[in-house]
Amino acid sequence: MKISLTKKKDQSLPEQIFQSISDRILSGLISEGEKLPSVRKLAEQLGVSLVTVQKSYEMLEKKQLIERRQGKGSYAKRSVKRIEEENPYNWQNMIEDFLPRAQTWKEMKSFSRQHKYNLSLANLAHELLPVEHLTEISTLVIQDEPTILSSYSPGPGDQILREVVSEYLLDEGLEVSAEQIVITSGAQQGLELIARTFLGEGDVVFVEAPTYIGIIDILKSRGVTIKTIPTNEDGMNLNVLLQMCEQFSPKFIYTNPTFQNPTGTILSEKKRRRLVEIAQAFHVIIIEDDPWGELRFEGSTKPMKSIDEDGHVIYLKSFSKPISPGFRVGCIVADGKILNKLKAAKSVSDLGSPLLNQRIIARFIQSFNFEAHFKKMNNLLLLRRDLLIDTLNHLDIEGLRWTVPCGGPVMWITFPTHVNTEHLLIDCLKQELLFLPSAMCYPNEPEVNHLRISYGNLSLKTYKEALEIFKEIVKSHMESLDPFTEDTPLF
């Protein structure tokens, strides 16, 4: 277990050790019941005093993340079974790893269990996607270009797809050349390439609070210092951001400005321009993540990259949500030396994304009526959003609040502060219902009284069933709570 310690004014050594171990426990990298290193052994490994490690373990015990047994050691909590004695792979604990957190992996494991009512996965249901047309195009591409099956793609991506994407982005209000585009295996790979290329231990990155769980895992794997910027109904609080830029020296600002994940909010046009100005003033790079900007119910907003004149914005686009998650095609748009370095990093990473997938997506974009498709899809998503709002109104819970997204497939719901949505999730799982608890969406001290619901992942029939079940579980859970006693956090 590799723990990196730095001299931070705002976080003591015990707090850093606590954060690192708690991240591993909560994301499943340290298994339930697994024995932790002794205080003495960990102190020797990290080069710190016994008192420092002792304080960290006391913090973990206070948060109910470990159980300390007299004369036997400390164990990851939630299971008292001595699984380390029964597991034949325990010797692998001696192999040092550099993976500090894996909430994305934990969340993906829950998807693979095929919960009947999965309101957690921010995806679109089969019935909302252009599956039939994709099937036809896939067959035609293989028939017309069989040599693709025995060919690699250029590292930065297939030239045909890059030119097609350039035209596609123009319709979205972003004018870029094919040479500015790097094709990736989904936007997640784009984020990982940016982090691996430009971020190292000690760098400072600002993210929204709450934020996309995938970016937290990536940033923590690089050993960076993550600072959070609060958000409100129109996106990131730029007054706080400006103060933070003056106090720290951030290298990147990560934002999901269009139907933000997980809140569904949108950064206003005025704020977009101001954010770019702040980045220019402090020589900071903005990572603009745009997974589903096309899924819009009302209004119109151009990407921030469209007003970037000197390369302060790296733009990420995913085609998983609007077209198909099965093809895992996305892109990075950048400029100058940053672009060249990302092209090199992509080539080193995997020699290029699968050529077949790229050609299918290219021909699909060229032949498909997106205007009609998005109009139909967005009307169906709007219906689902309104069904969720109607369900929440019928709960009649004092202090219950929620965002009202103008697009995208997710909504953020805030319960009174005495509610822990991790505990609510336990009740929901008993009936095969899953949502995303808010604790996963914070890189540091989490807030536990929120949750994210995806209203696009299920068929309409199953979705309506899920909302009825969710309503009854929430009512029952709220009746069981004492509003004057704050629910003990699991995160």
In a domain, 491, yes or no: no
- CATH label of the domain that carries residue 18: 1.10.10.10
Which residue, among 433, 455, 437, has the nearest Cα to 446 in the 3D structure?
437
Spatial contact of 208 and 228, defined as CB atoms under 8 Å apart: yes
| Per-residue confidence (pLDDT) for residue 84, from 0 to 100 | 42
State whether 123 and 158 are in the same domain. Answer: no
Choosing from 367, 383, 398, the residue where a domain stops is 367
- CATH label of the domain that carries residue 113: 3.90.1150.10
In a domain, 166, yes or no: yes
- CATH label of the domain that carries residue 343: 3.40.640.10
In a domain, 489, yes or no: no
Kindly report, residue by residue over 3-14, the tens digit of the pLDDT: 878 776 578 888
| Per-residue confidence (pLDDT) for residue 202, from 0 to 100 | 87
For the chain, what is the total number of helices (H) and then of strands (E)? 16, 16
Kindly report, residue by residue over 424-470, the tens digit of the pLDDT: 999 999 999 999 999 999 998 899 999 999 999 999 999 999 999 99
State whether 344 and 405 are in the same domain. Answer: no
State whether 288 and 154 are in the same domain. Answer: yes
- Calculate what percentage of the chain has a pLDDT beyond 70: 90
Spatial contact of 9 and 3, defined as CB atoms under 8 Å apart: no
In a domain, 39, yes or no: yes
- The values of phi and psi at residue 120, to 5°, are -100, -40
Which residue, among 325, 331, 90, has the nearest Cα to 191 in the 3D structure?
331
Give the Cα separation of 13 and 53 in Å (integer).
Answer: 9
State whether 235 and 311 are in the same domain. Answer: yes
State whether 322 and 212 are in the same domain. Answer: yes
State whether 376 and 469 are in the same domain. Answer: yes
In a domain, 3, yes or no: no
Radius of gyration of the chain from Cα atoms?
23
Q: How confident is the model at residue 88 (pLDDT cuts 50, 70, 90)?
A: confident
Considering the entire predicted model, what is its pTM? Answer: 0.82
State whether 111 and 135 are in the same domain. Answer: no
State whether 344 and 227 are in the same domain. Answer: yes
Exposure b/e, 367-404, CB count within 10 A at least 16 = b: eeebeebeeebbebbbebbeebeebbeeeeeeebebbe
Q: Which residue has the higher pLDDT, 463 or 88?
A: 463
Q: How confident is the model at residue 81 (pLDDT cuts 50, 70, 90)?
A: very low
SS3 category, 179: helix
| Per-residue confidence (pLDDT) for residue 5, from 0 to 100 | 82
Mean pLDDT of the chain: 90
In a domain, 485, yes or no: no
Identity of residue 281 = A
State whether 154 and 275 are in the same domain. Answer: yes
State whether 44 and 178 are in the same domain. Answer: no
Choosing from 313, 336, 367, the residue where a domain stops is 367
| Per-residue confidence (pLDDT) for residue 29, from 0 to 100 | 76
For residue 108, pLDDT over 80 is answered with no
Q: How confident is the model at residue 83 (pLDDT cuts 50, 70, 90)?
A: very low
State whether 401 and 359 are in the same domain. Answer: no
311-329 average pLDDT score:
94
Spatial contact of 366 and 356, defined as CB atoms under 8 Å apart: no
Residues pairing with 289 in the sheet: 316
Tokens at 176, concatenated: 């870029």
Q: How confident is the model at residue 360 (pLDDT cuts 50, 70, 90)?
A: very high
Task: Count up the domains in the chain and report the number.
Answer: 3
Kindly report, residue by residue over 187-212, the tens digit of the pLDDT: 999 999 999 999 998 899 999 999 99
Most confident of 6-20, 91-105, 390-404: 390-404
State whether 154 and 139 are in the same domain. Answer: yes
In a domain, 6, yes or no: no
| Per-residue confidence (pLDDT) for residue 85, from 0 to 100 | 46
**Domain coverage including residue 196:** 131-367
Q: How confident is the model at residue 20 (pLDDT cuts 50, 70, 90)?
A: confident
| Per-residue confidence (pLDDT) for residue 393, from 0 to 100 | 97
In a domain, 179, yes or no: yes
> Which residues have C-beta within 8 Å of that of residue 74, sequence separation ≥ 6?
35, 36, 38, 57, 60, 61, 66, 67, 68
SS3 category, 124: coil
> Which residues have C-beta within 8 Å of that of residue 276, sequence separation ≥ 6?
286, 304, 307, 308, 312, 313
Cβ-based burial of 248 (10 A; exposed 0-12, middle 13-18, buried ≥19): middle
244-258 average pLDDT score:
96
Q: How confident is the model at residue 390 (pLDDT cuts 50, 70, 90)?
A: very high
Choosing from 351, 367, 383, the residue where a domain stops is 367
Cβ-based burial of 268 (10 A; exposed 0-12, middle 13-18, buried ≥19): middle
